[in-house]
Amino acid sequence: MNISQLETLIMISKTMSFRKAGELLNLTQPAVSAQIKSLEDEFKTILIDRNQPVTLTDRGVVFLEHAERILEVVEELKQKLYDLNETPQGHIALGTTTSIAIQILPRVLSYFQDQFPLIKTSIQSMASSMIYQQVENGLIDVGIGYLIERNPNLSTSVLYYDSFELVVSPTHPLASQPHATIEALREIPLILLSPDTVGRKFVDDVFKKHQIVPHVVIELSSSEEVKRMVEINLGAAIISRLSVTSELRAGTLKMIHIPELEVSHPVGVIYKSGRYLNSAMQQFLSDLKGMPETNFTSSE
């Protein structure tokens, strides 16, 4: 049974003629007859009394009622699918790091919710390395994090660039120096991110390259925790430049420029290649990729 056969039966019931039904459906009379015969064979019953005028049998009347209901459901489905294209809706599971969630997501999601209130978003915080794994395994729909690897199963798009900088309390001995050398990191107590984070792996590579054994006094899993420890002068830290924007503006932290740390790190959107994208995902990705970099890096 197919939709065309049901439409043909309904048209015959209205016109009481195989020929007229065929004309209205742009089908030949033999094609109309074949469709009805196929339905009757499949359901092992006679649906139409072919004497003139053509009428439905008792079984045909019952069949017609269900056929009309089926077509109503099909039309409703078509309309809902169309509406999804016109008014995106659905649910998006988003994974990102704590610092990115705090720094950029409020602005991005505020805009998105205003434009598309029928799209609901849930956010999970995790390390950038975990984002790749969660997206590939289908546990989250979209990730926003540092683009640290290439995976043929994943698609990525750069949104903006970040860097990792040395920050200290205003009362720290280095606070009065806008610049320092990498050698300054040999002796001072450091508060660093945990080893599974992108920032920590970058810092460890810098230390290894310059043969520095850091004096690590605290390791923490999020930039927010690190910033609070630095503000009370328990040590210096190397963390995302964008994550300390508000603290720098408020004067609770000072940034010390070290040339060896000034490397740009792409931050972008991560999603599974080849997967079906519902209207919510399509709209979210389209808007996210279309935003200028200042939407993410602006301090306001």
Cβ atoms of residues 140 and 95 within 8 Å:
yes
Dist CA 166 CA 183 (whole Å): 13
pLDDT at residue 104, as a whole number: 76
What is the reported pLDDT for 84?
67
Per mean pLDDT, which range of 9-13, 126-130, 155-159 is the poorest? 126-130
pLDDT of res. 79:
66
In tens, the pLDDT along 3-36 reads: 999 999 999 999 999 999 999 999 999 999 999 9
3-class DSSP assignment, residue 124:
strand
Reduced to 3 states (helix: H, G, I; strand: E, B; else coil), residue 47 is coil
Q: What is the secondary structure of 56-114 as a DSSP string?
A: E-HHHHHHHHHHHHHHHHHHHHHHHHHHHHHS--EEEEEEE-HHHHHHTHHHHHHHHHH
Write down the pLDDT at residue 107. Answer: 75
Give 274 or 182, the one with higher predicted confidence: 182
- pLDDT, one tens digit per residue, over 54-101 is 899 999 999 999 999 999 898 878 867 776 666 777 788 899 988 888
Confidence class of residue 277 from pLDDT cuts 50, 70 and 90?
Answer: confident
Residues whose CB is less than 8 angstroms from the CB of residue 164 and which lie 6 or more positions away in sequence, other chains included: 199, 202, 203, 238, 239, 240, 241, 261, 263, 265
Q: Give the three-class secondary structure for 193.
A: strand
Q: Is the pLDDT of residue 138 over 90?
A: no
Any idea which of 36-40, 105-109, 163-167, 250-254 has the lowest mean pLDDT?
105-109
The pair of three-digit structure tokens given for residue 31, joined into one six-digit string: 């094609």
Mean pLDDT along residues 201-226: 93
